[in-house]
Chain A
Amino acid sequence: MVKGANSWLYALACVVVPVLWGLVIVWGVDRLQSRMSGPRGDEDEPVSPEYHI
């Protein structure tokens, strides 16, 4: 196991950086969709049961 404060910082970065990227993508896709088609009320869109495999 890696010891020290640096390893904790690195471990934290390994979570924070991908999460931030994920948030940016979600925000970007939402913006793009709302610009291209406007609000369509797609809350009842069918979902696949294996989504989070």
Chain B
Amino acid sequence: MFLVHVGAGIGHPVSLPALAGVGLFIGYIAGMFGVGGGFLLTPLLMYVFGVPPPVAVGSALCQKCGTSIASFLKYRKLQRGEPRIDLVMIGGSLIGVDAGARLLAYLSRRPPWIISGRSVPAVNLVLDALFIVFLSLTALYTFREAWRAMGRPPRGDVTVPGPLARVRIPPYIDLPNVGLTRVSVPVLCYIGFGLGVASGVMGIGGGVLFMPILLYGYGLSARNAAGTGILLLFVTVAVGTVIQARHGFVSLGLAMAILIGSSVGSQLGAITTNRLPNRALRLIFSGLVAATVAMIAWDLCKLLH
């Protein structure tokens, strides 16, 4: 029903209501657990809808332009986090997202690799491996946090400087909003570059990597960490979308169908959040991420055998 060709190299027609349904699911997850949902969207587009990996990545970034502007406005109102971190990291992140998009284009042009006598597309193999590694780390990290939070009083908004805050590579910057002094600018720039590459290659916002860095690397409180990086996220996905679209990897129709569904889903998810305790939400979330890892691992096994 409502099968349409959405272009961008997707040879087969795609059902718009089904895409909106996936958007509804992604939005529900995003609203319920407070995540962006990008880590789920790219694999779902690839494995459920048969969208070529580069187009799945580009269209996921395009969809995130709509969701990240909403996050940015929300957190600007709350005035959490340290905007100086975003500003310092933007340069590295933009170079990174360009490098990531070029890497994706290079991988999609490579001839298939022969593994165990089977022809495997390079881009599928690399993306599967990256998603499995990063999502496994996320599932473990979230599960561990939920487990450790059991019976422990909340830490509040106190910053306890972590190992990255003590690195001494000049020049330095003070971050008064989060109580850190003499933080190395080059280290922040390189972290921004790494996050940008992840966005460009995988079509994710990068928070999956950034949150552990802020919480454990710099020792920020959960609230300040949540409010940091939103401006960086928006600028990175916007520039990433332009670069991917120039490579011909973005289907605007696909992205908008998902975005419309996710706009409704996120409101429904936010209502559910209020009915469940935070620890239960984290445990369910880690289970969901683990299920996604299992889905990708299954696809990788099918690809290789």
| Chains A and B bind each other | yes
Contact of A14 among B79, B211, B255 (CB under 8 A): B255
Closest residue on chain A to residue B229 by CB atoms:
A52
A10 to B253, CA, bound (A): 12
Pairwise interchain contact B227-A22, C-beta atoms closer than 8 A:
no
Closest residue on chain B to residue A24 by CB atoms:
B263
Name the distance in Å between B287's Cβ and chain A's nearest Cβ: 14
- Count, chain B residues at interface, CB 8 A: 62
A11 to B241, CA, bound (A): 7
Mostly, the A contact residues are helix
Pairwise interchain contact B65-A11, C-beta atoms closer than 8 A:
no
- Interface residue? B70 (CB, 8 A): yes
- Count, chain A residues at interface, CB 8 A: 29
- Interface residue? B183 (CB, 8 A): no
- Interface residue? A36 (CB, 8 A): no
Contact mask for chain A residues 20-52; partner B; CB cutoff 8 A; 1 contact, 0 none: 011101100100000000000001011111111
Pairwise interchain contact B77-A52, C-beta atoms closer than 8 A:
no
Pairwise interchain contact B248-A1, C-beta atoms closer than 8 A:
yes
Closest residue on chain A to residue B205 by CB atoms:
A52
Closest residue on chain A to residue B289 by CB atoms:
A53
Pairwise interchain contact A26-B215, C-beta atoms closer than 8 A:
no
